[in-house]
Amino acid sequence: MNNQAPVADEMDKAAHSTTFVGGQPKRRVAGVTPQGVSQHQKQISAIVELPLDTLSQNYSLPVIRAAMRLHANDPVGAVEALRPTMNYELAYPDGFNSLYPAYIRGLAYLQLGDGHKAAAEFQKLLDHPGLVGRHVIGALSYLQLGRAARIRGDVTAARKSYQEFLMLWKDADPDLSIYKEAKAEYAKL
């Protein structure tokens, strides 16, 4: 039985809801709503019952815990929670995209205001398109890379990353909040 599939679906939803106000991270949430925290805690309880499942213990649980810590505005805790995933980042686990920890870690570094470390994490996704596949975090990595460049003060790199993201999402629903945020942030560069 694959307990990771529903968790992965929730984490997919989680990674896409990012809050930026005035182009700056205001409340970096990995998409975990108050109701979602309860849901994730239930999922954690289900996975904890698999103590001999290496990927559950060293990959899935840390990713869920990191997302919950981001929701609690604890980016340092999120980075720490992801430490066990380092050995599995280029693996191909069931359920999650294998570079999900890098994406969540990058979000944590953005929340901390560390554009250099955030950029390194998002670049991992862009450097491994075969692992990311058509998963939305691949395209979102361009947006997050642009945000990291903006934090570093590299406007040229930021523009390039935003342009790439907007080109990939040119047919997106114009009412999607992340798309509207990206367009507004790009216009301010």
CA atoms within 13 A on the CB side of 146: 25
List 24's β-bridge partners, or say none: 21
Q: What are phi and psi of 26, to 5 degrees?
A: -95, -55
Judge whether 164 lies within some domain: no
* pLDDT (mean) for 18-28: 41
- The pLDDT, as a whole number, for residue 121 is 97
- 67 neighbors 31 (Cβ within 8 angstroms): yes
Separation of alpha carbons 44 and 60, rounded Å: 9
Judge whether 21 lies within some domain: yes
* pLDDT (mean) for 136-162: 97
Domain tally, the chain: 1
Separation of alpha carbons 68 and 128, rounded Å: 26
What average pLDDT does the chain have? 80
Assess whether pLDDT exceeds 90 at residue 125: yes
> Would you state the structure tokens that stand for residue 57, as one six-digit string?
């213990």
| Interaxial angle between packed helices 155-168 and 136-152, expressed in degrees from 0 to 180 and rounded to the nearest 10 | 160
Judge whether 47 lies within some domain: yes
Judge whether 188 lies within some domain: no
DSSP state of 26: E
Separation of alpha carbons 116 and 145, rounded Å: 10
The residue type at 144: Q
Please state, for a pLDDT cut of 70, what percent of the chain lies above it.
69
Judge whether 85 lies within some domain: yes
Judge whether 144 lies within some domain: no
Domain that holds residue 95: 4-135
Give the tens place of pLDDT for each residue, 65-104.
Answer: 999 999 999 999 999 999 999 888 887 666 566 788 999 9
Separation of alpha carbons 69 and 25, rounded Å: 16
Judge whether 147 lies within some domain: no
Separation of alpha carbons 142 and 51, rounded Å: 36
Judge whether 129 lies within some domain: yes
